[in-house]
Amino acid sequence: MQSLDLSIVAPYSELLATGLGWTVVMFISSSLLSVIAGIAFALIVLYAPKLLALPVRFMTWLLMGTPLLLQLYVIYYGLVQVGIDIPAPVAGIIGLSLHFAVYNADVIRAGVLSVDPGQIEGARSIGLSRGQTQCYIVVPQALRKTIAPLGNNLIVLLKDTSLVSIIGIAELVYSAQLAVSETYSPFEFYLAVAVIYYAANLVLEAGLHLLEKKVEMSR
Amino acid sequence: MDLDLIQRTFPFFLEAAWITVQVSVLALLLGFVVAIVLVAARLSTVFIFRCLSRLYVSVFRGTPCLVQLFIIYFGGPQIGLELEPLTAGVIGLGLNIAAYMAESIRGAIANVDPGQVEAARSIGFGRGQTLLLITLPQTAKLMIRPLGVNAVALIKGSALVSTISVVELSYTAQRFISSTYKPFEIFIVSALLYIVMVYSVRLVVDYLDNRFAAR
């Protein structure tokens, strides 16, 4: 049993800061992509012909029924197997985005279904096309209702970016692992990382709260 | 598609899936007990208990489960806590899911008619008795769905213990992927087993929810 010495973390602050940078990169790119793909998936499941909707439904079933960890691992090594040698961060972003797109699509679909059908009839009767009705009338109203559940998904996403450490992306957890292999002080480093995640999570929650309020007021 | 490989590795995966089931069930039980304690503390009259309960939930929900597992398993020995991977995994997952389950239970309790609590208190039940004998049984049906969601999250989350070398489903999948270089075949087998577990829990939850909601 060795004693705890939190000062050991200080020399590695630069390493951890770089790790945090990668965590932020993974988070921002995956959250943008997962929301965009989530909207697309939701619209496909709702309106596209069966032939297009079926694969999306199958993917939803598959991605919701298996762990993200396994998905990341298979996407990275699977693509390498079929000869697509993509860099790990790209595989990580694809894995996180797909996984969360499916969950985002689920809440967006519920939001779209909760839009009053009179809104669609109204838009169509003043001459908007189907596509325009979706873009300008349905999706904006649906998004307003889904801001809170989408925010919850993003909060989960921020924490789940830690999983991409298993495919060797040098984000926070991976950086801590590097530092631990040099110092043999796992407790201090993982504790420091936990504190950083906690702070990042507080910032994200505050940001989402502000966004929710803003959307609430624009009604 | 290498069907022979699927056939050959299947027994190993079945064994690994059994470990996943064990880890999930044990963590779920631990999580439920801790969650009840957290909710009781949250509803207590003692200020410090309420604070501690809120702090626990906020910390465990505000940090990644992976990091919590690493602190317990790799950091534990530094504070004199040496655990087997399986034990550390169950404790880590259980403590983590407890924070989420506490919120599910608290949400259900908030929906119980306050008159029930007042009545129980006025006929002489203590606060603890009221919670255990009056409030919790009534919330049971309201808790089925949110706790079911927690259970499904836990089964999938149990994949995380592969990182602390518990030989469960995801660990076995990783091992076979790196030894056979056939990720798709291995994914099909392991995904199938996860899907069976996840969707059978969902079926049970749907059944129970329908049954009790009808009353």
- Give residue limits of the domains in chain B: 3-213
| A200-204, B24-28, B50-54, B175-179: least confident range | B175-179
Q: Is the pLDDT of residue B214 over 60?
A: no
User: Residue holding tokens 């999938």?
Assistant: B156
d(CA B30, CA B5): 37
What is the distance in angstroms between the Cα of A4 and the nearest Cα belonging to chain B? 7
Based on its alpha-carbon atoms, the radius of gyration of chain A, rounded to whole angstroms, reads 21
Question: Per the CB < 8 Å rule, is B67 touching A194?
Answer: yes
User: With contact defined as beta carbons under 8 Å apart, do B19 and B85 qualify?
Assistant: no
Distance CA B97, CA B109 (A): 18
Q: Are B133 and B112 in contact (CB under 8 A)?
A: no
* Cross-chain CB nearest to B184 (options A65, A78, A165): A78
A201 contact residues in B (CB cutoff 8 A): 62-63
**Residue to substitute from B2, B60, B67, interface A, most A β-carbons within 10 A:** B67
Inform me whether the pLDDT recorded for B84 exceeds 80: yes
Is the predicted pLDDT of residue B65 greater than 60, yes or no? yes
Q: Does domain B3-213 have CATH number 1.10.3720.10?
A: yes
Task: Tell me which residue has tokens 């969601």.
Answer: B149
Kindly identify which residue of chain A lies nearest to residue B173, measuring between CA atoms.
Answer: A70
Q: Which of B1, B19, B59, B78 to mutate to test the interface with A (most CBs of A within 10 A)?
A: B78
Residue A24 has a pLDDT of: 96
Beta carbons of B77 and A1 less than 8 Å apart: yes
In chain A, which stretches have pLDDT less than 50? 1
How much of chain B exceeds pLDDT 70, in percent?
99
Q: Which of A20-24, B5-9, B169-173 has the lowest mean pLDDT?
A: B5-9
Share of chain B above pLDDT 90, in %: 61
CB A32 within 8 A of CB A99: no
The per-residue pLDDT for A219 is 61
Is the pLDDT confidence value at B180 over 90? Answer: no
Q: Please give the Cα distance from B24 to B159 (Å, whole number).
A: 10
Nearest by CB: B62 against A65, A176, A197: A197
pLDDT tens digits for range B116-145: 889 999 999 988 888 888 887 888 888 888
pLDDT of residue B181: 82
> Which backbone phi and psi does B214 adopt, to 5 degrees?
-70, -25
C-alpha to C-alpha distance for A81 and A199, rounded to whole angstroms: 38
Alpha carbon distance B192, B10 (integer Å) = 11
What pLDDT does B184 receive? 84
| Residue B215's pLDDT band (cuts 50, 70, 90) | low
Instruction: Look at residue A2 in the predicted model and tell me its pLDDT.
Output: 58
Say yes or no to pLDDT of B83 above 80.
yes
* CB within 8 Å of B176: residues ≥ 6 apart: B9, B12, B182, B186
Phi-psi region of B71 (alpha: psi -120 to 50; beta: other; left: phi over 0): alpha
Closest-CA residue to B153 (of B197, B188, B192, B187): B197
